């Protein structure tokens, strides 16, 4: 799946507006400009019906060209087919016009040029240049066939300057507007990226802050007591408290990466301290595990730390995908019931004591 950036959508919308403007301009020119001239000079043509038919051919070419450009950038073969039909119609119209008056009564030159602009304006400007030059050369060729005098040449040059100049100007303007829209879109895109980076940085900062606060509450006072000598390292209770804090520190270092396996990773980190104590810890998973949100993971790993700290020689941790969530269980030879943290963050905890073996299961549901 491609990720559509708002900035790209925005630039696409501008480009479509420019295309519609060109379509309206070209169709308007053909109906009002070309059509008006055709009707105005109808008495001067050898065959008005033939000129009318050519006008319709051109109208169809413009309609097809409009559909093509409104659907997106047309293939070069289609674009040039439409352009060449317009060129042929224009040349035929010039050839069928009365000699000497050809340029004065020509409706087709302008319409053909605009049709070229319509289908070629999103292509390289030089292609439109070639098309307009070919059109001018064809019209001039027809005129020369009939005999070229100074007046004809002057009229030709005047039409060339006015009509072709306007067409090239419009095509160039669309190109300039397109690139302005692209630049605006690129600027918006980099602004989006910068905003995203800022939000990510804030989240990371907040996560660090909360970890630091967690340490402040539990680990720092313990270390301070040890340092000041008020706590006795020989006291078994203090040793348990130290083991719990050591496991928490390791978990804090493992936290923060939002990977599908992060709960497994954090449980491994929580088990490290128990393993150093000589407890054999097995961790096994079954099925495709869902992603568990950080606060719920915290409740589960707290339970793990409590149970592992109480384990004497062995512990088994399993994670199983169950309907609508995950079941994380602990079996350990704790000897007695372990006081577990309260259920919280959508995590329900159950336990059972059987002889020296303690079983507990933390279930998190994603509903």
Partner 1 sequence: MEQQVTVAIIEDHPVVTEGVASWIRSDPEQRVLLVHTARDLTGLHGESRPSADVVILDLELSGQLVTTQIPGLVAAGYRVVAFSGHSDAMIVMETLDNGAHAYVSKEEGSDHLVEAVLAAAADRPYVTRSQARAMLSDQRPDRPELSQQELQALLLWFQGMSKASVGRRMSISENTVRQYISRARAKYAATGRTAPSKDALLARAIEDGVIKPGEIMPYTSFARAAANRPSLGAPGQ
CB of 359 to partner 1, least distance (A): 6
Based on the shown chain and the rule CB under 8 A, indicate whether residue 337 belongs to the binding site for partner 1. Answer: no
Orientation angle between helical segments 165-228 and 125-146, nearest 10 degrees: 180
CB of 280 to partner 1, least distance (A): 10
C-beta of residue 93 within 8 angstroms of C-beta of residue 37: no
Interface residue with partner 1, options 282, 291, 295, 312 (CB under 8 A): 282
Which span (105-113, 187-195, 282-290, 297-305) binds partner 1, by CB under 8 A? 282-290
Interface residue with partner 1, options 287, 293, 295, 356 (CB under 8 A): 287
353 — phi, psi (to 5°)?
A: -110, 130
Interface residue with partner 1, options 10, 254, 322, 343 (CB under 8 A): 322
Contacts with partner 1 by CB under 8 A: the residue count is: 18
With the CA atoms of 239, 244, 246 and 247 taken in that order, what torsion angle do they form, in degrees rounded to the nearest 10? Answer: 140
Spatial distance between the Cα atoms of 88 and 264, rounded to a whole number of angstroms: 74
Based on the shown chain and the rule CB under 8 A, indicate whether residue 217 belongs to the binding site for partner 1. Answer: no
CB of 3 to partner 1, least distance (A): 29
Identify the burial level of 177 via C-beta atoms within 10 angstroms of its C-beta, where 0-12 means exposed, 13-18 middle and 19 or more buried: middle
Q: Which is nearer to partner 1, 262 or 318 (CB)?
A: 318
Interface residue with partner 1, options 69, 85, 327, 362 (CB under 8 A): 327
Interface residue with partner 1, options 288, 339, 342, 367 (CB under 8 A): 288
Spatial distance between the Cα atoms of 98 and 106, rounded to a whole number of angstroms: 10
295 Cβ contact list (under 8 Å, min separation 6): 344, 345
Which span (158-166, 201-209, 280-288, 297-305) binds partner 1, by CB under 8 A? 280-288
Q: Burial code of 128-159, b = ≥16 C-beta within 10 A, e = fewer?
A: beebbeebbebbbebbeebeeeeebeebbeeb
Interface residue with partner 1, options 286, 291, 293, 356 (CB under 8 A): 286
Based on the shown chain and the rule CB under 8 A, indicate whether residue 359 belongs to the binding site for partner 1. Answer: yes
CB of 281 to partner 1, least distance (A): 12
Cα 318 to its chain centre, rounded Å, is: 39
Interface residue with partner 1, options 253, 352, 356, 366 (CB under 8 A): 352
Segment 223-262, which members bind partner 1 (CB under 8 A)? none
Quick one: tokens of 37? 């001239």
Based on the shown chain and the rule CB under 8 A, indicate whether residue 318 belongs to the binding site for partner 1. Answer: yes
Q: Which is nearer to partner 1, 318 or 345 (CB)?
A: 318
Beta strand ranges found along the chain (DSSP E): 280-286, 314-322, 325-332, 347-354, 357-365
Spatial distance between the Cα atoms of 320 and 327, rounded to a whole number of angstroms: 5
Which span (39-47, 67-75, 147-155, 327-335) binds partner 1, by CB under 8 A? 327-335
Based on the shown chain and the rule CB under 8 A, indicate whether residue 320 belongs to the binding site for partner 1. Answer: yes
Spatial distance between the Cα atoms of 64 and 80, rounded to a whole number of angstroms: 12
Based on the shown chain and the rule CB under 8 A, indicate whether residue 336 belongs to the binding site for partner 1. Answer: no
Segment 20-59, which members bind partner 1 (CB under 8 A)? none
Q: Which is nearer to partner 1, 109 or 330 (CB)?
A: 330
Based on the shown chain and the rule CB under 8 A, indicate whether residue 284 belongs to the binding site for partner 1. Answer: yes
Based on the shown chain and the rule CB under 8 A, indicate whether residue 354 belongs to the binding site for partner 1. Answer: yes
Spatial distance between the Cα atoms of 84 and 91, rounded to a whole number of angstroms: 10
Sign of torsion over alpha carbons 189, 195, 201, 203: negative
Binding residues for partner 1 (CB under 8 A): 282, 284, 286-288, 316, 318, 320-322, 327, 329, 331, 352, 354, 357, 359, 361
């Amino acid at each position: 799946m491609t990720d559509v950036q708002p900035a790209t959508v925005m630039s696409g919308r501008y480009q479509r507006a420019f295309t519609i403007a060109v379509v309206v301009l070209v169709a308007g020119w053909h109906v009002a400009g070309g059509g008006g001239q055709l009707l105005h000079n109808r008495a001067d043509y050898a065959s008005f019906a033939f000129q009318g038919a050519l006008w319709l051919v051109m109208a169809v070419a413009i309609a097809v060209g409009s559909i093509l450009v409104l659907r997106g950038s047309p293939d070069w073969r289609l674009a040039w087919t439409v352009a060449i039909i317009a060129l042929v119609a224009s040349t035929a119209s010039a050839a069928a016009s009365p000699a000497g008056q050809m340029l004065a009564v020509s409706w087709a030159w302008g319409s053909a040029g605009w049709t070229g602009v319509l289908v070629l304006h999103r292509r390289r400007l030089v292609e439109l240049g070639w098309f307009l030059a070919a059109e001018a050369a064809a019209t001039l060729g027809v005129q020369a066939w009939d005999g070229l005098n100074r007046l004809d040449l002057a009229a030709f040059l005047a039409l060339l300057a006015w009509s072709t100049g306007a067409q090239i100007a419009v095509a160039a303007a669309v190109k300039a507007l397109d690139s302005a829209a692209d630049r605006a879109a690129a600027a918006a895109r980099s602004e989006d990226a910068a905003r995203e980076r800022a939000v990510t940085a804030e989240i990371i900062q907040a996560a660090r802050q909360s970890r630091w606060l967690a340490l402040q509450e539990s680990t720092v006072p313990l270390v301070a007591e040890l340092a000041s000598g008020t706590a006795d390292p020989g006291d078994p209770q203090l040793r348990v408290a130290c083991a719990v804090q050591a496991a928490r520190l390791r978990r804090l270092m493992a936290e923060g990466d939002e990977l599908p396996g992060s709960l497994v990773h954090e449980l491994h980190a929580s088990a490290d301290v128990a393993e150093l104590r000589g407890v054999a810890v097995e961790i096994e998973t079954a099925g495709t595990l869902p992603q568990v949100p950080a606060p719920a993971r915290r409740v589960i790993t707290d339970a793990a730390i409590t149970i592992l700290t109480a384990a004497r020689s062995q512990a088994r941790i399993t994670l199983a995908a169950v309907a609508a969530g995950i079941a994380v269980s602990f079996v350990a030879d704790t000897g007695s019931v372990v006081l577990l943290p309260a259920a919280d963050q959508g995590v329900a905890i159950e336990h059972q004591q059987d002889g020296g073996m303690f079983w507990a299961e933390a279930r998190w549901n994603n509903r």
